[in-house]
Amino acid sequence: MRWSRLLLATLRDDPQEAEIVSHKLMVRAGLIRKLSGGLYTFMPLGLRALHKVSNIVREEMDRAGAQEILMPALQPAELWERSGRLATMGPGMFRLKDRAERLMTLGPTHEEVVTDLLAGEVSSYRQLPCTVYQIQTKFRDEIRPRFGLMRAKEFIMKDAYSFDTSLEAADASYQAMFDAYVRIFQRCGLDARPVEADTGDIGGKWSHEFMVLADSGEDGIIDCPACGYAANQERAEHADTPANDPECPSPLAVDTPDARTIDDLTALFGCPADRFIKTLIYLADGKPVAALVPGDRDLNENKFKRLLNAKQLVMADDTTIEKVTGAPTGFSGPVGLTIPIYADRTLHGATDRTTGANKADTHLTHVSLERDASVTAFEDLVIVGSGDACPRCGKPMQIKRGIEVGHVFKLGTKYTESFDATYLNDKGQSELMVMGCYGIGVTRTLQAVVEQSHDADGIIWPISVAPYAVSLLLLDPKDPAVCAVVDDLEQTLAARGLDVLVDDREERPGVKFKDADLIGSPIRVVVGAKGLAKGGVEIKLRTSKEVTLVPVEQAADAIAAQATALTEALCP
RNA sequence: CGGAGCGUAGCGCAGCCUGGUAGCGCGUUUGGUUCGGGACCAAAAGGUCGAGGGUUCAACUCCCUCCGCUCCGACCA
């Protein structure tokens, strides 16, 4: 391809719309253009890179035995009523009505459609296992789209769904997808790592997210350097590390007018936040329960909900709190409470703490939790942070940021029950299929590559996803001898299957060098009168400062050899 | 949805407080000088100043309403 014919304009300035480096670079390098918030057009260069990612995904899905299908993005809302997700995912879905006033949705994901499909197609155990996938545009009415392709209203996702005859067989399908994901991200040149994850609204029992470490990531990842345990902060656990507090005298009521928050109390008592116990009153499916966490910690509502096995968990309103504790909000405490009380593990053995007294404007000091209150259970309740003990090995863990590029779930029979997706086993009995689902944010993955691979000058594409493997700079477009070398090289390289972008513009060399760095082709080849006079063309890798001068007749071989080496370095 | 900010040429911005009919840089076009890391000189094209309404002799500027965008928060595969 000749740059002079490409619809490609690079920008010198960072776009005002962009916040993170990958977004800035993708706009500056002419890969994407914004239509409106969370909606982007892929320009020729960006689309080429996107196709490369899609093809890697497709190859690895096929290799793992999954079959490609394509389901409609437009779906009847009725399907979502059957699974109950019209309510739970409700506001996040785009809805519209057809002319018959039938409620439709633009699919944010396809569990419903695919389960309904397979329920009809599969009738015998002989047809199982079966994994299908698609690469398709998804729609989510994001509350706040941001970071370009990272969180968009419309995005491309690869979603796969496995159907099996048993939990064990489903585990094998899950593992096959997990392994395919490892390969996919490796081939994209991404440093992505699997972490244990929460299942969210999709439901199900177990899941892993594939995270690309990046400071701009929207998710917190808890990581244990000692043993390798890694989990999304939403789910991360911590070890039982009982407090080692000394004995203390009996509880003492203290006047604390208007001191409702931990900040108020630390100011009033002049001691650190962890000496207080926060008592949070929740309604779990309508029934009041209390959660106790150290004053400097936050409750992880996901974990609490899972522990209680509750469908719905909300913070109690002021009226309920007053009814349950006998005191206004801000003065709740465990002592004397009759509702179930769950305390975080770190409060095991906690003594001499300060808590609300369940009486207006009053707190209790010298509270020894197990002596003075009846705690139902000590469990893992807090949002885990840096320094907490690893649940596997007990060593301190770290917190990092990550971009979620893939997510694999074991769903069990959650959806097959809703859609009555059964098959006949070898004894002629009807059984529910066991499902798994597996997503990769294709557009997000592309941006994650840029986020992880760039420098001050621009993008550094791994060759596997580069729009063009080679940027061929024609420095003297008016010099017939130079042009002849470029024409020849372009053809030879194309014949060897390499994507070449020839910068044939009437620009000064400096402009071409800058743009070549910006758009980030892994191999840069410079052909100019000066270079030819010195004996050849110059080959340079985007990742290196080193320039190699190669005689014209050996150039194609040398370039192809570099391309092969770069490709092989990415192959698992 | 709550808080904050912004909307002026393709892109990045100034002008607005203190009303007088729009400017800078980049990019684009033409000519010239240049030519190995975003050149210089000269000329030129390009703007319903987000939209609607109001105040005024006069509105980019002041007031009201709406729309869009960005950031923080809540929310989220």
User: Do A284 and A313 contact (CB within 8 A), yes or no?
Assistant: yes
User: Do A264 and A258 contact (CB within 8 A), yes or no?
Assistant: yes
| Summary mean pLDDT of chain A | 91
CA of A510 to C1' of B35 (A): 9
Read off the pLDDT of residues A268-300 as tens digits, 9 standing for 90 and up.
Answer: 888 888 888 989 888 888 888 999 998 888 888
Alpha-carbon span A503 to A486, nearest angstrom: 10
User: Do A210 and A217 contact (CB within 8 A), yes or no?
Assistant: no
Average pLDDT over residues A315-326: 84
The answer, yes or no, to whether residue A69 has pLDDT greater than 80, is: yes
* Whether residues A123 and A272 fall in one domain: no
* Whether residues A363 and A434 fall in one domain: no
CATH number of the domain that residue A430 is part of: 3.30.930.10
The answer, yes or no, to whether residue A392 has pLDDT greater than 70, is: yes
* Whether residues A445 and A472 fall in one domain: no
In a domain? residue A240 = no
pLDDT for res A204: 63
CA of A466 to C1' of B58 (A): 57
pLDDT for res A202: 60
* Whether residues A310 and A440 fall in one domain: no
CA of A468 to C1' of B16 (A): 47
In a domain? residue A245 = no
With bands split at pLDDT 50, 70 and 90, how would you rate the model's confidence at A307? Answer: confident
The secondary structure of residue A396, as a DSSP letter, is B
CATH number of the domain that residue A369 is part of: 3.90.960.10
* Whether residues A221 and A83 fall in one domain: yes
CA of A543 to C1' of B34 (A): 31
Average pLDDT over residues A138-166: 92
Least confident of A9-13, A102-106, A303-307, A483-487: A303-307
Average pLDDT over residues A442-447: 95
* Whether residues A302 and A338 fall in one domain: yes
User: Do A339 and A286 contact (CB within 8 A), yes or no?
Assistant: no
User: If residue A473 lies in a helix (H) or strand (E), which one and from where to where?
Assistant: strand A470-474
Query: Residues of chain A with pLDDT > 70: what percent?
Result: 99
* Whether residues A318 and A266 fall in one domain: yes
Encoded tokens for A428: 């002629």
Encoded tokens for A294: 């150290």
The secondary structure of residue A218, as a DSSP letter, is S
* Whether residues A293 and A410 fall in one domain: no
What is the three-class DSSP state of A489? helix
Q: Does residue A215 approach strand B to less than 7 Å at its CB?
A: no
- H, E, C per residue of A403-461: EEEEEEEEEECHHHHHCCCEEECCCCCEEECEEEEEEEEHHHHHHHHHHHCEECCEECC
Q: Find which nucleotide's C1' atom is closest to A508's CA.
A: B35
Neighbours of A361 (CB within 10 A): 16
CA of A16 to C1' of B12 (A): 8
A133 or A140, higher pLDDT: A133
The secondary structure of residue A168, as a DSSP letter, is H
Encoded tokens for A152: 């968009």
The answer, yes or no, to whether residue A314 has pLDDT greater than 90, is: no
In a domain? residue A390 = no
pLDDT for res A478: 93
pLDDT for res A385: 86
With bands split at pLDDT 50, 70 and 90, how would you rate the model's confidence at A62? Answer: very high
In a domain? residue A308 = yes
pLDDT for res A299: 87
Query: Residues of chain A with pLDDT > 90: what percent?
Result: 63
pLDDT for res A142: 86
- Total H helices, total E strands in chain A: 16, 31
Task: Using a 7 Å CB cutoff, list residues 519-538 of A near strand B.
Answer: 526, 528-532, 538
User: If residue A230 lies in a helix (H) or strand (E), which one and from where to where?
Assistant: strand A230-232
User: Do A288 and A220 contact (CB within 8 A), yes or no?
Assistant: no
ipTM for the predicted complex: 0.92
Sign for the CA dihedral angle at A141, A146, A150, A154 comes to: positive
Task: Using a 7 Å CB cutoff, list residues 184-203 of A near strand B.
Answer: 199-202
With bands split at pLDDT 50, 70 and 90, how would you rate the model's confidence at A306? Answer: confident
Q: Does residue A441 approach strand B to less than 7 Å at its CB?
A: yes
| Closest C-alpha to A174, from A564, A438, A455, A478 | A438
The answer, yes or no, to whether residue A259 has pLDDT greater than 90, is: no
With bands split at pLDDT 50, 70 and 90, how would you rate the model's confidence at A243? Answer: confident
CA of A273 to C1' of B50 (A): 49
Average pLDDT over residues A25-48: 93
CA atoms within 13 A on the CB side of A81: 5
Q: What's the farthest any 2 CA atoms get from each other in chain A?
A: 96
Q: Are strands A206-213 and A398-412 parallel, antiparallel or unpaired?
A: antiparallel
For A21-74, the DSSP string reads HHHHHHHHTTSEEEEETTEEEEPHHHHHHHHHHHHHHHHHHHHTT-EE----SE
Alpha-carbon span A541 to A470, nearest angstrom: 9
User: Do A349 and A314 contact (CB within 8 A), yes or no?
Assistant: no
* Whether residues A164 and A28 fall in one domain: yes
Helix axes A442-452, A44-63, angle to 10 degrees: 110
Read off the pLDDT of residues A359-387 as tens digits, 9 standing for 90 and up.
Answer: 888 999 999 988 999 899 998 888 888 88
Q: Which residue range is the domain that position A504 belongs to?
A: 468-570
* Whether residues A132 and A262 fall in one domain: no
Angle (nearest 5°) at CA A448 between A223 and A400: 20
In a domain? residue A83 = yes
What is the three-class DSSP state of A289? strand
Of the residues A379, A410, A438, which one is the last residue of a structural domain?
A379
Cβ neighbours of residue A14 closer than 8 Å, sequence gap 6 or more: A24, A28
| Closest C-alpha to A220, from A277, A156, A300, A304 | A300
pLDDT for res A313: 80
With bands split at pLDDT 50, 70 and 90, how would you rate the model's confidence at A205? Answer: low
Q: Does residue A76 approach strand B to less than 7 Å at its CB?
A: no
pLDDT for res A327: 86
Average pLDDT over residues A389-393: 91
In a domain? residue A243 = no
Q: Does residue A477 approach strand B to less than 7 Å at its CB?
A: no
Backbone phi and psi for residue A172, each to the nearest 5 degrees, phi listed first = -65, -40
Of the residues A332, A348, A379, which one is the last residue of a structural domain?
A379
Encoded tokens for A376: 């139902």
pLDDT for res A551: 98
Sign for the CA dihedral angle at A229, A235, A239, A245 comes to: positive
Least confident of A12-16, A315-319, A404-408, A486-490: A315-319
The answer, yes or no, to whether residue A257 has pLDDT greater than 90, is: no
For A325-387, the DSSP string reads HSS-TT---STT--S-EEEEGGGTT--SEEEE-SSTTEEEEEE-HHHHS--SEEE--BPP-TT
User: Do A464 and A203 contact (CB within 8 A), yes or no?
Assistant: no
pLDDT for res A203: 60
Average pLDDT over residues A64-74: 97
CA of A42 to C1' of B32 (A): 39
Average pLDDT over residues A105-122: 95
Q: Looking at the 3D structure of chain A, how many domains does it have?
A: 3
Average pLDDT over residues A505-509: 95
Place of tokens 């995005």: A155
pLDDT for res A416: 95
The answer, yes or no, to whether residue A90 has pLDDT greater than 70, is: no
CA atoms within 13 A on the CB side of A45: 30
Alpha-carbon span A290 to A277, nearest angstrom: 12
CATH number of the domain that residue A489 is part of: 3.40.50.800
Average pLDDT over residues A430-441: 96
What is the three-class DSSP state of A216? coil
pLDDT for res A476: 96
| Closest C-alpha to A389, from A224, A234, A500 | A224
The CA-atom distances, in angstroms, between A418 and each of A80, A84, A95, A154, A266 are 10, 9, 22, 27, 51
Cβ neighbours of residue A569 closer than 8 Å, sequence gap 6 or more: none
Q: Does residue A439 approach strand B to less than 7 Å at its CB?
A: yes
* Whether residues A39 and A91 fall in one domain: yes
* Whether residues A259 and A324 fall in one domain: yes
User: Do A26 and A17 contact (CB within 8 A), yes or no?
Assistant: no
The CA-atom distances, in angstroms, between A285 and each of A192, A315, A316, A483 are 38, 11, 11, 75
Q: Does residue A539 approach strand B to less than 7 Å at its CB?
A: no
In a domain? residue A215 = yes
